[in-house]
A and B are shown apart, each in its own frame.
Chain A
């Protein structure tokens, strides 16, 4: 069964802290995994995409890792800023899903306090 779980559901941290968001998936036959950001009332913005053959991707203060064998991914945010406050969603695509539909987790709502 294709399930994606994100922990925690919500997180509040003071500005400047490093933090980790977690994503787990039940079926390891993924093609890739993506992390998205969603601001209130807005669509989704892709942050990082990790192919199944990769172990991590980095963009600025963001680093995403992938461990297929354990069915886990983490999104590491360094030196958090109030502008990082948003909901973060992870999503996977599977080889056998024609067209590459995304299977989403429920998201982690992040609040970074000044």
Chain B
């Protein structure tokens, strides 16, 4: 597609349920990033993929959070046993830069997660 797409755009879930958020990066972009934007914390880095591997997972807030990327393309962020503090907008970005910082990251529209 022309840009980064994310699904669903909105997700409402009950506390304790698992959720999966999907990101489709720009075709050919090898780098993929997940960020979280919440009222209290601003915009925070979660995890970075280069191809299918994740060299930097330092932003994942707990072991309830995991992510994978298959075929060097689509990525899924999974949150297990959701808590109310997980409520936020989850943003995905992709970049064509390989193995070094500095490339422009193109962002998707985000998934708004609400945990009741």
A residues bordering B, Cβ < 8 Å? 31-32, 34, 36, 41-46, 49, 51, 89, 91, 93-95, 97-107
Question: Contact string, B81-101, partner A, CB cutoff 8 A, digits 1/0?
Answer: 000000000010101010111
5 examples of A-B residue contacts, CB within 8 angstroms: A36-B107, A45-B107, A99-B31, A99-B101, A107-B43
CA distance A100 to B49 in the complex (A): 11
CB-based closest 9 A-B pairs: A100-B101, A43-B107, A99-B48, A104-B43, A44-B107, A101-B45, A93-B101, A43-B109, A106-B42
**CB nearest to B43 among chain A residues:** A104
Report yes or no: A98 in contact with B91, Cβ–Cβ below 8 A: no
Question: Contact string, B41-52, partner A, CB cutoff 8 A, digits 1/0?
Answer: 011110010100
- Main SS class of interface, B: strand
CA distance A60 to B104 in the complex (A): 19
Residues of the B chain whose Cβ atoms lie less than 8 Å from the Cβ of A99: 31, 33, 48, 50, 55-56, 99, 101
Known pairs A31-B101, A102-B43, A104-B42. 9 more at Cβ < 8 A?
A34-B104, A43-B4, A43-B107, A46-B106, A91-B43, A99-B33, A99-B99, A100-B100, A100-B105
CA distance A107 to B14 in the complex (A): 30
B108 on the A face (CB < 8 A): yes
CA distance A46 to B35 in the complex (A): 15
Residues of the A chain whose Cβ atoms lie less than 8 Å from the Cβ of B93: 44
CA distance A103 to B99 in the complex (A): 18
CA distance A74 to B28 in the complex (A): 33
Report yes or no: B101 in contact with A43, Cβ–Cβ below 8 A: no
B103 on the A face (CB < 8 A): yes
Report yes or no: A46 in contact with B105, Cβ–Cβ below 8 A: yes
Report yes or no: B4 in contact with A95, Cβ–Cβ below 8 A: no
**Chain B proximity of A41: nearest CB distance (Å):** 8
Decide: A98 near B42, CB < 8 A? Known: A46-B106, A51-B102: no
